[in-house]
Structure 1
């Protein structure tokens, strides 16, 4: 592979900048893919004729990456899962089941603040997988938040902020097996070096789970992201484009701006719901089927012996589960349950049910195309060495071990934002962060307990930085799916969320810097972080509101009794 140096950053950065500037996500993503392919083609070209041929080679390689990602087993399963979810949403929408639930919830949830808080609480409830989180919370709350004038931008932010951050923090989730495995691999490498006498001591690979637990209090970004969204909900204070979006929603009732292009254009594609609305209990029963089948699927696919899956401990199975397959099973179970109940109640005829099954799948065409191109852009970034360049730049700087966490956090955040993948960032950075922290600590003569502490913080900084990109990158699959299932314009979601994500990342970096300065206990660092976050939130809110000539506090819309 040719060494492109700083130019390796060009494909993902071009895609991100074009997406934000032009608001044409498909064009931006393909441009990033094609530029990456063109760089590869040019590296082997010679003379004018070679340069001309490179144009065709770049196009061919771009299409090859798209096909490769479309036929990848995991990716294909996610694409089919999205189509099934689209069908599921389609029949629930047109049957009126979603509207019945919204009407039932409205009897208890009467204000915009209460609706936003409900979304936040549900986001914590669906903790075991970030994809399932966006599906369930987005579809459940959207009709209610629409009726209570909560902008789609705010709903997307809430859903996105309780997806990856929650799944990455809790001990029972589809993330933990992968994360613990990465830690164990790095510990094993260090143990082998210690066995050869290269290191005086090394961590025990059997303690990988313990190291994961000890890293949790240092995952400042995830913890503070969840804190900030709660502050935003309770205070109704915003800054950046979100302030304007919320004032628009409350003042005009427009939960989407004029000209917005939601990833799930539900109302445009599906039209008006059936005059005979399905009873509200159909929706929760369908969601229950979806969640139950997903959990059983994770248990079964992660079991030591699938034929006796119940004999494997659920938490152990969850660490090894095939989340994509489980989600597909869950979405299909939810669709079947909804279809059966809708037909049984006579809300829709079989022919109309099948018509809106297909229309529901059509809802996902744009979103699935964006996902496919985002995955292909990662292939382009891998091919030109985007992540390798960033990692080598950080690793080459000789630094004190206590500086490793802030440097690793910054590098991981940048990699995850430019590549759109948290798990990919984990895979890239963990084999660098753990040995780097451990070896530098030994070289500087730190005692074993302090060496372990620095390593735990380094582990946390990888996970925290990876979640940053997963949370807010316009090419992240979780960001895309948050836009998708809340029915938001994707670029509007990104533009309104990034100021909050950057605020959280800035405070997180301050905490890692304080760690480097010698303040290492999370019981001290986290309260400092919360205070800084609350103060910065208030300062930015007042400053932005003043510049835009808007009230700093968005009125809490309350549904009046009829």
Structure 2
């Protein structure tokens, strides 16, 4: 095998540099792949183009595993778009509004509703935000707090679920690396086993109820909570998610069908045990197909949309997955090119000269992932770069694999969570109707607390591989929040007095 030395890492550097500079993941990955093949083929541009299409792109498309992932992603795209445009999610969230008569209830209901709409990270802020915004305003809760809740229940939920777009995307990246490294590991099982070490998103989810029940806020958020600002000029139009005759059952019935299909085809063991990739993809694709068909049937039965409209929405959702499919193909190709150039061996040799203990690899992966995702505003783009780069290093140095996977996912999510150019951060601001920079400022202190705890877990977990460290992190998070409350003598929420319901307020207005 030809050794390309320092040239082997040029494609990786190009991918990182262009991602940060252009904020365009597709352009960055394509340039990286083209450069790698350019080096491999004697710097001949015509030959490079021929090999790029004939050897790499076509090989990735014709690979049975890759083809299965692409088909699955397309079915997921159709289902998500249908679910979003059915109006079911809006109707589902609306059904809770009679219960919103206190600050604590408003925050917790917004939190749990965001989690329920787990199938789409971008759907949470666009649907949940406009529904709860009037209640937050009436209860004198800031829109910055609502934006924080929306942002914390979108991507942090999605990255933990193996059977939606995020999980399928990540599992696909892992499978390609395992294949290139000749590892007889299950990509699905590896994802499941990495969840206890996917620390940052778990902490992002636990901090919301902890803050709410402790009646605590600190940093810029405390200022906005004490002096809520009316920022109605930033509000968005969510009328397209309000559909006549839509029912809350449009959400939970299709999801039950999806889960029922998985259990019937794979049994209960698929949740924690090893499942073959082909069986998992077949069951998941079938589940999304049946769920979509049931949702279509419900929409027709309740006459919320015509068949022509329903079918058009479904096809449009499939089309929207084209960019994700392109990113996957480019990421798979980059992994093969890195292997052909010997980039992993060059980096491994370099790290050996530094004499870095393998236990530090997860923490290093978290930090690098956070920097890339913060700069690019993209978790998926970060995973596309980091997985092919870090997994070979972890295997060679015998670093804890599941901890490392969790660190890659956590780092990519943390950087995205605090990045002002992240799509979910921008949509969370818009969904809550607050100024975008104010959202970034108020959310960052909480995110930094979680990131520090995550790094602590990766430093310890890199040497112990103890999955119970997540409990340590959650307990530490609560202890820190209690400490902040005691130290600052936080008096926020002067009581959590019950307020009249929204409907009662309307009746009073009508009488007056």
Shift of 1:14: 1.4
Q: Is the CA contact 1:88–1:357 (under 8 Å) kept in the aligned structure 2? A: no
> For the Cα contact (< 8 Å) 1:409–1:464, is it kept in 2?
yes
In the TM superposition, residue 226 of structure 1 has moved relative to its aligned partner by: 3.0
2:106–2:135 Cα contact (<8 Å) kept: yes
Q: 1:57 aligns with which of 49, 52, 64?
A: 49
Give me the whole-angstrom Cα distance separating, in 1, the residues matched to 2:311 and 2:227.
33
1:509 paired with 2:447, answer: no
- After superposition, the Cα gap between the structure-2 partners of 1:313 and 1:175, relative to the gap in structure 1 and judged at 3 Å, is farther
Structure 1 residue 4 corresponds to structure 2 residue 5? no
Identify the residue that residue 433 of structure 1 maps to in structure 2.
394
CA distance in 1, matches of 2:462, 2:470: 16
User: Residue 165 and residue 295 in structure 1: after superposition, are their counterparts in 2 closer, same or farther (change >3 A)?
Assistant: closer
Which residue is 1:372 aligned to?
325
Inter-CA distance 347–65: structure 2 relative to 1 (3 Å threshold): same
The residue aligned with 2:248 is 283
1:340 aligns with 2:297: yes
Measure, in 2, the Cα distance between the counterparts of 1:534 and 1:66: 52
Conserved 8 A contact 2:199-2:410: no
Q: What is the match of residue 225 of structure 1?
A: 204
Judge conservation of contact 1:153–1:488 (CA < 8 Å) in 2: no
Deviations 1:155-175 (A, max 9, x none): 14322122324769xxxx999
SS of the residue 1:72 aligns to? helix
Instruction: Mark the CA change 1:157 to 1:523 in structure 2 (over 3 Å): closer, same or farther.
Output: closer
C-alpha distance in structure 1 between counterparts of 2:352 and 2:93, whole Å: 52
Q: CA deviation at 1:74?
A: 0.9
Partner of 1:463: 406
Is the contact between residue 294 and residue 326 of structure 1 (CA under 8 Å) also seen in structure 2?
no
Q: Secondary structure at the match of 1:385?
A: helix
Matched, 1:358 2:349: no
TM-score, normalised to structure 1, is: 0.58
Inter-partner Cα distance in structure 2 for 1:63 and 1:147? 55
Partner of 2:139: none
- Identify if the C-alpha distance between structure 1 residues 164 and 334 changes in structure 2 by more than 3 Å, giving closer, same or farther: same
Show CA shifts across 1:88-132 (max 9, x none): 432x23xxx555444321111356764543354356678xxxx74
2:133 and 2:17 map into 1 onto residues whose CA distance is 34
Q: What is the match of residue 355 of structure 2?
A: 398
1:35 aligns with 2:14: no
Residue number among 97, 106, 109 corresponding to 2:97 in the alignment: 106
Please report the RMSD computed on the Cα atoms of aligned residues, expressed in angstroms.
6.2
For the residues of structure 2 that align with 1:63 and 1:495, how far apart are their CA atoms? 44
Match of 1:160 in 2: 155
Structure 1 residue corresponding to 2:258, chosen from 278, 294, 297:
294
CA distance in 2, matches of 1:436, 1:294: 40
Whole-angstrom distance in 2 between the partners of 1:141 and 1:278 = 19
**Unaligned runs of at least 5 residues, structure 1:** 20-27, 191-204, 258-264, 304-309, 439-454, 542-551
Decide whether aligned partners of structure 1 residues 437 and 377 sit closer, same or farther in structure 2, where only a CA change above 3 A counts. closer
1:52-201 mapped onto 2 (5 Å cutoff): 57=49, 65=57, 72-90=67-85, 92-93=86-87, 97-110=88-101, 114-121=105-112, 132=119, 134=121, 141=128, 144-148=131-135, 154-165=149-160
CA distance 1:313–1:76, shift in 2 (3 Å): closer
Q: Taking structure 1 as reference, are residues 111 and 77 closer, same or farther at Cα in structure 2, changes over 3 Å only? A: farther
Change over 3 Å in CA distance of 1:368–1:405 after alignment to 2? closer
CA gap of 1:373–1:139, structure 2 versus 1, over 3 A, is same
Is 2:200–2:413's contact at 8 Å kept on the other side of the alignment? no
Number of matched pairs: 460
Structure 1 position 43, deviation (Å)? 2.4
Gaps of 5+ in 2: 137-142, 507-512
